[in-house]
Amino acid sequence: MPRTIGLFLYPDFQILDACGPITSFEIGGRMGSDAYRLILLSASGGPVRSSAGVEMATIAQQDAGAIDTLIVVGGNGSRDAMRDAVVLACLRELAGTVRRLCSVCSGAFLLAGAGVLDGRRATTHWRRAGLLSRHFPKVIVEPDRIHIRDGHVWTSAGITAGIDLALALIAEDLGEDLARRVAQEMVVFYRRPGGQSQFSALAELGGDSAQFAPLLDWIRAHLDQQLTVETLAAESAMSPRNFSRAFTREMGMSPAKAVERLRLEVARERVENSPEPIEKIAARLGFHDPERMRRAFLRAFGQPPQAMRRLTRGIQRPIAPR
């Protein structure tokens, strides 16, 4: 019997947040002998207009029947939807009946608004991670992850990360081998070269934060220095304690984590796009020695600098299609 995958829509949703998982499950279901049934849901049913102006037909939540996995998509409309009492009541009811509860991008705001992320680790688009943390302080926001599983709840980062999420769900259901074949069919990475981190986003760390934008620019220009909390607090004209609290609240991560991510972003770009020796990159960006940078790369990207350089230069052979 096929598993029912329900995607929850609302006005001004992001269409790729829906279509990416839909295509993944369509192909996965076909390869897995009709393993999936796909339905589109909304609070009241009927056509729902995306932010692109394209409408998709939905059925009302009460008419959906049994759902195995519910995926709440993101989009500009999430700002209103996360405050819509009807939408939140609908999600609370569904959350108690599904085997897996998931979100793509800012869909996490709806799950948080419904209270189902309280005390759980979650992620969202890197630009909105700080906002999620401020609006919902009971949620443990990890802003640099592609997707996170906490129990039966899965959350993912922005837009195309919905495909990564779908592939992970397919792998859990039907095995790694089939999920890898789905990725090959879709011409996407089964596992991104950068691992499970939103590494490309962190060059723009700070998002809409006016308070710490000048500091982040200063950090980028001084990555070779010892950037302690005391140093950063002095640059911000704040006490170390107040600075650490304010920075973590605003940015969704500690100052030390932010410095490491900024170092990693610049280091990754140099590793992939320059012939500069790994040792010199490590020294010039404040890692001090290659081993420390290697460990940081493994934590953030899932592979060492040398492997990322080889992959970028095409030394590693791609997986042959079946």
Instruction: Categorize the per-residue pLDDT at 318 as very low, low, confident or very high, splitting at 50, 70 and 90.
Output: very low
Tokens, residue 112: 């948080």
Strands in the chain per DSSP E: 3-8, 36-42, 46-49, 55-60, 69-72, 100-104, 121-122, 140-141, 147-150, 153-156
Q: In whole angstroms, how far apart are CA 186 and each of 194, 236, 282?
A: 19, 47, 36
Residue 122 sits at the vertex; the CA angle it makes with 169 and 140, to the nearest 5 degrees, is: 155
Q: Residue 78: pLDDT above 70?
A: yes
Q: What is the pLDDT of residue 317?
A: 37
- Say whether 59 sits in a helix, a strand or coil: strand
CA–CA gap between residue 191 and residue 20 (Å, rounded): 16
Q: Is 105 among the residues known to form the active site?
A: yes
Question: Can you give the residue ranges of every domain in the chain?
Answer: 3-186, 199-312
Tokens, residue 57: 């037909």
* CB distance 169 to 150 below 8 Å: no
Q: Of 19, 90, 102, 105, which is the active-site residue?
A: 105
* CB distance 121 to 162 below 8 Å: no
pLDDT tens string 95-126: 999 999 999 999 999 999 999 999 999 999 98
The CATH H-level superfamily of 199-312 is: Homeodomain-like (1.10.10.60)
CA–CA gap between residue 32 and residue 182 (Å, rounded): 10
CA–CA gap between residue 39 and residue 62 (Å, rounded): 13
pLDDT tens string 235-273: 999 999 999 999 988 887 899 988 998 898 888 878 877
Q: Are both 3-186 and 199-312 of the same fold?
A: no
Contacts of 117 (CB under 8 A, 6+ apart): 108, 111, 136, 138, 139, 153, 155
Assigned CATH for 3-186: 3.40.50.880
What are the beta bridge partners of residue 149?
Answer: 154
